[in-house]
Amino acid sequence: MSLSLLALLAFVPIFSAALLLVGFRMPAKKAMPLAFLITAVIAFFTWDLSLRHLVASSIQGLFITFDILYIIFGAIVLLNLLKYSRALRTIREGFTSITADRRIQVIIIAWLFGSFIEGAAGFGTPAAIVAPLLVGLRYPTFCAVMLGMMVQSTAVTFGAVGTPVLVGVAGGIQGPEFAAELAGSSLTLSDYIQLVTSQVVILHAIAGVFIPTLMVTMMTRFFGKNKSWKEGLEVLPFTIFGGLCFVLPYVLTGTFLGPEFPSLLGALVGIPIVAYSAKKGFLMPKKTWDFDEEKNWPSHWMGTLKVKLDDRDDIKRIPLAKAWMPYLLLAFLLVLSRLEQLPLKGWLTQLKISWNDILDTPISASSSPLYLPSTILLIVAVVTILAHNMKRNMVARAFFESSKMLLGAGFVLIFTIPMVRIYINSGINPTELPSMPIAMAEWVASEVGNVYPLFAPTIGALGAFIAGSNTVSNLMFTLFQFGVATKLAMPTFIIVALQAVGAAAGNMIAIHNIVAASATVGFLGKEGMILKRTIIPTLYYLLVVGILGLILIG
């Protein structure tokens, strides 16, 4: 079989998922089971993968699915507990008391707080929190959703305490080809992941430092009374300052601590610095900027949801320090659990659930549930219940809402991740055909050549656009990117880093995320309008990172 035909057949599962989700607007709960079936059929008939290998790959995928769902559950439980204890309201009011200038509010609330929520929870949570918060502060609904989507860029690669790297990249790259490279070097999987992380934070920092500027200028241009880019650029010194306050600790954290912490600690460091500076007037504009009167807003800016800032007045107000305590404790415990010098990491990794040579195949799977960030998230959740004196009914509602969200995500993932593992494990076949990602890689390498780094981030963005997830994009395409780099004799960790950064940028245009964010503020049915705006920062990000990739490889 020719390489072109093999690559075409390898592309069919990805194209099918895109066609079903985007072309036919089929919900993921219907599209992904079909995509799984298509992938299995192609693997069985073209790659001659046995039924036993298909089942073993699916079981391996379910191990990864468990890890992802466990992390989602812990993150969302903590967030919902803070909502019902009224801690989120206190955090929100603390931000809005700093300045009345909408441009500065965007940097503090959307960019920094949104990035913090991404680092702690991930999975589209920032837009679902930031958008209603901004609507409650009298931002046009259209603008609020746009800004909520733009948050999902720089911080996303290390969202949900590093899940897109720890699960996405690490899970997506583990094929025979990668194992062979590790065997020929002195690196472990952890060493390789840290190499990728160190590269990712630098790429993100260079592109991401200007995202606050884009947020503010797009707001003043598309939603200001004067439709002016200039009014946004008037606060350029502060937007650059806000960008640096996040990306500098972000780079240091990713370089020295690992993929769990850059977004979480970058925001935790940046928020107090930027908030204090704004309070003291540092680099602040002379004139305060605001939207035009609401009566003059076009009707298409408006959503159906009216968010009230003073809901649930029967609950006692939480002090600001107490409101922030759970997230500060989370950051502290996560750092402790990841330091090699302390015994905590060893204790948490002692429990390991594994299945080697599943169904007598070379495929294996494992999980270390206690070491997953979700265990610490749930410990912090228990502390929060006690510290915030939460009533049973509040706790029950928080867990009920979290479980409901988990069921929705779980049904999609139990087909998506096994599909990805079949895709990757297709290289384990009796006819010695290259795996689906490697077949595509060989074809791309032969057609594109040395300019490939310019396009590598776009591949990652395509995966996120299709799947609505940085993690799933990395699971789908990391081995593909690795294969292209190998064929072109390029440093594989740089190309894999470009994949991870591109997948983060693709979250800004991910249909699933746009729908989820729009649903929180009653803006459903207008997703095309959002996409038309968020494609601007996405193209900026992909172009900058692609050029950086060419420079690094060259």
Q: Closest Cα partner for 75 from 117, 39, 112, 114?
A: 117
Return the residue matching tokens 């799947």.
Answer: 467
d(CA 481, CA 477): 6
Rg for the chain, CA atoms, rounded:
23
| pTM of full prediction above 0.85 | no
In angstroms, what CA-CA distances link 458 with 243, 329, 544?
Answer: 23, 37, 11
Helices (DSSP H) in 304-391: which residue ranges? 320-338, 344-349, 373-387
- Using CB atoms within 10 Å of the CB of residue 33, give its burial: 0 to 12 exposed, 13 to 18 middle, 19+ buried: middle
For each of the chain's 554 residues, which pLDDT tens digit applies?
A: 789 999 999 999 888 887 887 688 787 788 889 999 999 999 999 999 999 999 999 999 999 888 878 877 887 788 789 888 988 888 878 877 899 899 999 999 999 999 988 888 776 677 777 887 788 778 999 999 999 999 999 999 999 889 899 989 998 898 888 988 898 888 999 999 999 999 999 999 999 999 999 999 999 999 999 999 999 999 999 999 999 999 999 999 999 999 998 999 999 999 999 999 999 999 999 999 999 998 999 998 988 755 444 454 555 678 989 998 988 888 788 778 877 778 888 898 899 999 999 999 999 999 989 988 788 889 999 999 999 999 999 999 999 988 887 776 678 778 888 988 898 899 899 988 988 888 888 898 888 889 999 999 999 998 888 666 899 889 888 988 999 999 899 999 999 999 999 999 999 988 767 876 777 677 877 777 888 899 999 999 999 999 999 999 97
d(CA 86, CA 308): 13
Tokens standing for residue 311: 């809901």
